[in-house]
Chains A and B, each alone.
Chain A
Amino acid sequence: MIKNHIKIAWRNLVRNRTFSLINTVGLAIGIAVFIFIMQYIAFEWGANRFHKNYKKLYRISTVYKEGNSSHYIAPGFAPLLKTNCPVIENYVRIADVAGNGIVSYLADRNSDLKSFREDKVAYADPDFLRIFSFPVIQGDASLNEPQTLALSKSVARKYFGEASAIGKVLTVNNQFGHTLYTVTAVYEDMPAQSDIKADILLSFKTLENPALRNDNDWADPKGLKSGFVNTYLLLKDNADTQQLSKQINNTVHQLQPENQTDPMVLQSFSDLHLAPSFNYPLQTFGNLLLVSLFLCIAILILIIAWVNYINLSIAQSLNRTREIGVRKVLGAVRKQLIGQFLCETFLITLGGVFLALLIVILLQPVYNDFLDKNLSLAILMQGWVWLIAPALILLGSLLSGGYVAIVLSSLNPIKTIGNKLDGFTRGISLRQGLVIFQFTVSIVFIVSTLVLYKQLGFMHNQDLGMQVTQRLVISGPEINGGKLRSQSFKNQLAALPFVQKYAASNDIPGRGYNFSADGITRLNPTPGDEKKSFSMLLIDNNYFDTYGIQLVSGQNFTANDVQNGYSNAQRIIINQKAAIQFGFKREDNIVGQKINWGKQFEIIGVVKDYHHLSLHEAIQPMIFLPAVSTGFYTIKLNTDHLQDKLNTLKNLYAKQFPGNPFAYFFLDENYDEQYKAEQKLGDIFITAASIAVFIACMGLFGLASFIARQRTKEIGIRKVLGASVLNIVRLISTDFLKLVIVAIIIASPIAWYAMDKWLLNFAYRITIQWWMFLLAGTMAIIIAFITVSFQSVKAALANPVKSLRSE
C-alpha cells in the first residue's frame, strides 16, 4: 500500500512540475528561514554552556533601590565572603577592560618595537583559567604571581609569531602606568559563545602593590568602596543559594550598614546571557526580547509556509478529484486516501527540508555576515534541536497535509467522478482565513519595516545641533603623551594645509561623557538641587568651533583657560539644559553667574543643546570643562585624496607620540554605530517582510487558481452574456482584495501597538502616521492584485464554449 502511495505521489509531483516546484520552494524558504533563526537561537541559548562548572557558577550583582542593577562590585568582598560562607568553593574576580591600553614588545635592542592598542585586557584572579573552561595550551594556568599575564593564542601569535610566548616580557601601558609583565600562559581564543571575553589576562595581584597602581587607589584589590570587578563564585555541589544570598548580604551590610537598602543577589551563570524572564532585573549579555522576536518571526514564517502548502495543495489536487472518486468507488476507505495524501505531504516536506538545507548551506556566509557571527549547521547538532525540529516539521506536515487529506477524502465520489466541485467548497472559508492570516502577518511586517526605517531616517537626518560629517577623529596617546607634546601636535596640525579645523577633547560625541557629577548648584540653591546630576566633558578652546556647536551667549574658553585646567581657571560653559536644571531663567543673565562645586566656578558661556549621544537618549544637562585634552583629536578635513592625508597624519602622530599605534575613525560612522541595533532590526524586518509577502503570494496564487477553476462555468456564461475581460478580472479579483482589506484591518492595530511600544525606546521619535498603514495596505493590495490577476486574466481569456462544454 505504502509503495503504491509513494509511487502515485511521486508521479503526481512530477506531472505537476510547476506546482510541485512552487510548493516545495515555498516550503523550503520557510524551513530555511526557520533553520537560520534556530541557528541564532541555538547560539544564544548555548552561550557559556561550554564551561564545565556552568551549573555551579554565580555572579554577584547589586540591585539598587532605584531598580537598576550593577554587576560591578568592590573587589574586597570576595575573600571575606569565602571565609564566611563555607559553600563557596572558590571565587574569581575580573576587572574587564580595566587593563585596556597599549601593549608593546621589544625583542631586543635591534628589533622594532611591536606595539598594539588592546581593548580586551582584564585583570583576573589566579584561578581564572581553572574555574572557567578556557583550555591552556602553553604554560601554567595560574596567575598567582604579580606582574604575570596570560595571552590568547591569536594575541600571542600577533606579538611573537610562531615562537613560544612563555617567559617573554610585555610592557602594558594603561591607566595604572607603565608595567612589565611576564607571559606565563597561552590559552585557546575564547569562543564566540563566551560572554567573558579577554585577549590578555593580567594578574590581579599586581594591583596590590600601590606603586603599580599609579595613584589609582580605588583599584586596590582589597578595597571595599569602588565597584569595578565582576565577582564569580564557584559553589560546592548542592549549595543552597538562598541561604548563601542571606549570608552574603549579612557580611556586606555588617561592613557597610549604609548600603542595606541595596541588596546583593546571586545571578546564576545560566541566566548570564539570556534572562529567565522579560522583567528580569539583572543585566544580561544577550537580549531575550530580540531572541523571542526572532523566534516569533521563525514560527510565523513557518506557519505561513504551511498555510501556503495547504492552499497550493488543494488547488493542485483539483486535477485529481476524479481520481479520488474512482479510488473510492474501487473500495478505498478514507483512511487509505488520507494515508495517500499524507504520503505526498511527507514527500514534499522531505524535498522542502533538503532544499532548505541546500539554501542554508549556500546562504550561510551571507547570513553570517549579516549577523556578524560565525554560525553553521553544526550549532544545531544538539539534543534538544534534534527533538524539537523534526517534531515541528512532522507536526506541520501532519496538520497541513492532514487538513488537505481530510478535505479531499471527504469528497463525494459521485460528484467528483462527474468532475463537479460543489462538495469542494467546504473549507474554503478556512482557506480564506488562512490567506487573511498570511497577509495580516505580512502587513504587520511591512508596517513595522516602514516605521523602523522612518525612525532610522529621522535619527539620521535630525539636526543634531552639531556637525559630524568630514570629522576625522584620532585616538590620543596612551604613552609618551603629556601637555607639551599634545600642544605641539596641535600646532603641527594647524600648519597642515588640509586641516580646516581641529580640536582636542577627552571624549567625543557619540561615545560618552568624561564623568557625571552631582552636588553642583547655584550659590543660592533650593533643597534637592544637590542631587541633580550633570554630564561633564573635558575640552579645549577649539571644540565648539570644530563641531559647529553654537554659542548662544557669553564666550568660549581661552587658550589660557585650557592651559590652566578647569580647577585653576574656575571657568565653565554649560548647555541650555544645564541652565534650566540650575534654575536660571534667561540665558543672557546666566553669563557671569557663579556656581558652587566644592569651590566657585564662573559660567562664561551657554551653548545651544546638541545631541552628544544618540536620539535614544534625551539631551543631558552638560558642563564643559577646559583642559589640555589628550583623549581624542578631531580634525575637520575634506576627504579628497584621503590616503595621502592619512599618511601625513600618521607620520606626524608617530613622530609626536612614539610607541602609540595610529588609530582613527570618522565621527559620522562612529556616531551611526549607536543605531547599529536599529539598522540590524530594520534589515531583519525587511527580509522577514519580503519572505512573508513572497510566500503569502504563492498561497494566494494557489487559492486564486482554485477559485478561477471553480467558477469556470460562471465565467463562461458571463462571457456568453457579454462580459468583458475586465469585468471578469474585476469579478474575481474583488473577492481577493476583500481578504487583503480584512487583513489590513486586523494588522493595523497590531502593528501600531507593537511599533508604538518600540518607539518608546527613543527619547526623540517619530509619530506613527496613518499614511504608513495606507502605504503598507496599498502595497499589499497591489501585490495581491498582480498575483490574482495572473489567474483571473487567464480565466477571463478562456474560450467560453470550452468551459461550458466541459459541464
Chain B
Amino acid sequence: MIKITALEKFYRTEEVETIALNKLSIEVKEGEFVAIMGPSGCGKSTLLNILGLLDDPDGGSYLFNGTEVAHFNERKRADLRKHNIGFVFQSFNLIDELTVFENVELPLIYTGVPSSERVSRVEKVLDKMQIMHRRNHYPQQLSGGQQQRVAVARAVVNNPKLILADEPTGNLDSSNGNEVMELLTDLNEQGTTIIMVTHSEHDARYSHRIIRLLDGQTVVENIMI
C-alpha cells in the first residue's frame, strides 16, 4: 500500500542544514498495523507528516497504492488525503467551536457527502465509539479519553484505508489509553491499515511490526508475534 524509497527531508536555517530523513525506505502492506518508535528528533513526526501528505519530501519516492505522490500539488494532496487517510493526534485537535457530532461530520462535508447520509454515517460511527450520548456536547465538556474517541471517530468516518496516529495515547491515562488502543486494533482487524508513532513500548505491542528510527534512518525492525 505504501512504499517509500530513499526518502529525504532536510530542514534548513540560514547556516545549518539538519537531515530529518536520510534516504529512508519503508514498505507497509495493506492491513498492517505498524508502530514507529525512536528518540526525540529521530524523524518520526516528519515521516508521519510526509506519509499523511501534509509535507513534501526533498528527495526519494513515495508510492501510495502504486501512484507516485511525492510531488503532488496541494489540491491533489488534499483530495487524496480526504478520501484515504484519517489522522489521530496526541492532543486530539478537535475544533472547540463544533459539537462532537459536527466535529465528526466535518470530513464528510469536505468530501461532499450529502446531508442525510452524513447523519447516518456519523451516528453509526459515534455509536461504535460509544459516545453517541455525548453527540451534542462540545469538546471541552468531555474527558480526555472521550475526546480521543471522538478524534478516532472523526478519523474513521470516511472509511479511510490508512490511519496515521501520532502518539494517540500520549495525553491519556493508562486505562483510557488502553481503550483507544483497543479501538485501533479493532479497526485494524476490520482491514484498516494503521501507522502509529509512539514512545510507549506498551502501545507498540498492539502492532504487527515496530520500525525503530535513529537520525532519519531505520535501525531495526521487530516483528511482533
A contacts, CB < 8 Å to B? 1, 4, 7-8, 11-12, 15, 322-323, 325-334, 336, 413-414, 417
Binary per-residue interface labels of chain B (87-98) against chain A in the complex, 1 for a CB within 8 Å, 0 otherwise: 101000111111
Residues in B142-172 with C-beta less than 8 Å from chain A:
154
- B78 touching A8, Cβ below 8 Å: no
Report B-chain residues with C-beta under 8 Å of the C-beta of A333.
74-75, 78-79, 110
- B97 touching A11, Cβ below 8 Å: yes
Binary per-residue interface labels of chain B (41-77) against chain A in the complex, 1 for a CB within 8 Å, 0 otherwise: 0000000010010110000000000000000001100
Report B-chain residues with C-beta under 8 Å of the C-beta of A327.
95, 106, 110
B23 at the interface (CB under 8 A from A): no
- A336 touching B89, Cβ below 8 Å: no
- A329 touching B110, Cβ below 8 Å: no
- A326 touching B78, Cβ below 8 Å: no
Those 3 A-B pairs whose CB atoms lie nearest each other, nearest first: A331-B82, A331-B110, A11-B97
- B81 touching A12, Cβ below 8 Å: no
Residues in B99-119 with C-beta less than 8 Å from chain A:
102, 106-107, 109-111
Q: Which of A1, A7, A331 contacts B107 (CB 8 A)?
A: A331
Q: Which of B74, B79, B81 contacts A329 (CB 8 A)?
A: B81
Task: Provide the bound-state CA to CA distance between A271 and B79, in Å.
Answer: 61
- B82 touching A413, Cβ below 8 Å: no
Query: Which chain A residue lies CB-closest to B97?
Result: A11
Chain A at the B interface: mostly helix, strand, loop or mixed?
helix
Q: Measured between C-beta atoms, what is the minimum distance from A660 to chain B in Å?
A: 77
Report B-chain residues with C-beta under 8 Å of the C-beta of A15.
96-97
| A326/B93 contact (C-beta < 8 A), A331-B78, A331-B81, A333-B78 known | yes
Q: Which of B55, B79, B97, B110 contacts A330 (CB 8 A)?
A: B110
Report A-chain residues with C-beta under 8 Å of the C-beta of B87.
329-330
Report A-chain residues with C-beta under 8 Å of the C-beta of B154.
330
Name which of B78, B83, B98, B107 has the most chain A CB atoms within 10 A of its CB. Answer: B78
Query: Which chain A residue lies CB-closest to B111?
Result: A331
Report A-chain residues with C-beta under 8 Å of the C-beta of B74.
333-334
Q: Measured between C-beta atoms, what is the minimum distance from A415 to chain B in Å?
A: 10
Report A-chain residues with C-beta under 8 Å of the C-beta of B82.
330-331
Query: Which chain A residue lies CB-closest to B86?
Result: A330
- B97 touching A414, Cβ below 8 Å: no
- B109 touching A4, Cβ below 8 Å: yes
- B97 touching A328, Cβ below 8 Å: no
| A330/B75 contact (C-beta < 8 A), A8-B97, A414-B55, A417-B89 known | no
Extra inter-chain contacts (15) besides given A325-B93, A336-B110, CB under 8 Å: A4-B109, A7-B102, A11-B98, A327-B110, A328-B54, A329-B54, A329-B81, A330-B82, A330-B107, A330-B154, A331-B83, A331-B107, A331-B111, A333-B78, A417-B89
Report B-chain residues with C-beta under 8 Å of the C-beta of A4.
102, 106, 109
Report B-chain residues with C-beta under 8 Å of the C-beta of A7.
102
- A414 touching B54, Cβ below 8 Å: yes
Q: Measured between C-beta atoms, what is the minimum distance from B40 to chain A in Å?
A: 14
Q: Measured between C-beta atoms, what is the minimum distance from B111 to chain A in Å?
A: 6
Q: Measured between C-beta atoms, what is the minimum distance from B68 to chain A in Å?
A: 21
Query: What are 12 residue pairs bridging A and B, where the CB atoms are less than 8 Å apart in the complex?
Result: A1-B109, A15-B97, A326-B93, A327-B106, A329-B52, A330-B110, A331-B79, A331-B83, A332-B110, A333-B79, A414-B49, A417-B89
Report A-chain residues with C-beta under 8 Å of the C-beta of B96.
15, 323
Task: Provide the bound-state CA to CA distance between A332 and B107, in Å.
Answer: 8
- A8 touching B110, Cβ below 8 Å: no
Report A-chain residues with C-beta under 8 Å of the C-beta of B107.
330-331
Query: Which chain A residue lies CB-closest to B93?
Result: A326
Report B-chain residues with C-beta under 8 Å of the C-beta of A329.
52, 54, 81, 87, 93
Binary per-residue interface labels of chain B (9-48) against chain A in the complex, 1 for a CB within 8 Å, 0 otherwise: 0000000000000000000000000000000000000000
Task: Provide the bound-state CA to CA distance between A414 and B102, in Å.
Answer: 22
Q: Measured between C-beta atoms, what is the minimum distance from B166 to chain A in Å?
A: 9
Query: Which chain A residue lies CB-closest to B98?
Result: A8
Task: Provide the bound-state CA to CA distance between A105 and B110, in Å.
Answer: 83
Report A-chain residues with C-beta under 8 Å of the C-beta of B81.
329, 331
Report B-chain residues with C-beta under 8 Å of the C-beta of A325.
93
Report B-chain residues with C-beta under 8 Å of the C-beta of A8.
95, 97-98
Report A-chain residues with C-beta under 8 Å of the C-beta of B83.
331
Q: Measured between C-beta atoms, what is the minimum distance from A316 to chain B in Å?
A: 13
Report A-chain residues with C-beta under 8 Å of the C-beta of B94.
326
Task: Provide the bound-state CA to CA distance between A15 and B102, in Å.
Answer: 17
Report A-chain residues with C-beta under 8 Å of the C-beta of B98.
8, 11
Task: Provide the bound-state CA to CA distance between A521 and B129, in Å.
Answer: 110
- A323 touching B78, Cβ below 8 Å: no
Report B-chain residues with C-beta under 8 Å of the C-beta of A12.
97
- A326 touching B95, Cβ below 8 Å: yes
Task: Provide the bound-state CA to CA distance between A417 and B55, in Å.
Answer: 13
Report B-chain residues with C-beta under 8 Å of the C-beta of A336.
110
Task: Provide the bound-state CA to CA distance between A336 and B107, in Å.
Answer: 12
Q: Which of A323, A331, A332, A417 contacts B97 (CB 8 A)?
A: A323
Task: Provide the bound-state CA to CA distance between A417 and B110, in Å.
Answer: 19
Report B-chain residues with C-beta under 8 Å of the C-beta of A331.
78-79, 81-83, 107, 110-111
Task: Provide the bound-state CA to CA distance between A132 and B60, in Å.
Answer: 85
Q: Measured between C-beta atoms, what is the minimum distance from A218 to chain B in Å?
A: 81
| A330/B106 contact (C-beta < 8 A), A8-B98, A322-B93 known | yes
Report A-chain residues with C-beta under 8 Å of the C-beta of B95.
8, 323, 326-327
- B78 touching A332, Cβ below 8 Å: yes
Q: Measured between C-beta atoms, what is the minimum distance from B63 to chain A in Å?
A: 21
Report A-chain residues with C-beta under 8 Å of the C-beta of B93.
322, 325-326, 329, 417
Q: Measured between C-beta atoms, what is the minimum distance from A497 to chain B in Å?
A: 82
Task: Provide the bound-state CA to CA distance between A546 and B98, in Å.
Answer: 82
Task: Provide the bound-state CA to CA distance between A330 and B55, in Å.
Answer: 14
Task: Provide the bound-state CA to CA distance between A743 and B70, in Å.
Answer: 47
Q: Measured between C-beta atoms, what is the minimum distance from A722 to chain B in Å?
A: 27
Q: Measured between C-beta atoms, what is the minimum distance from A310 to chain B in Å?
A: 22
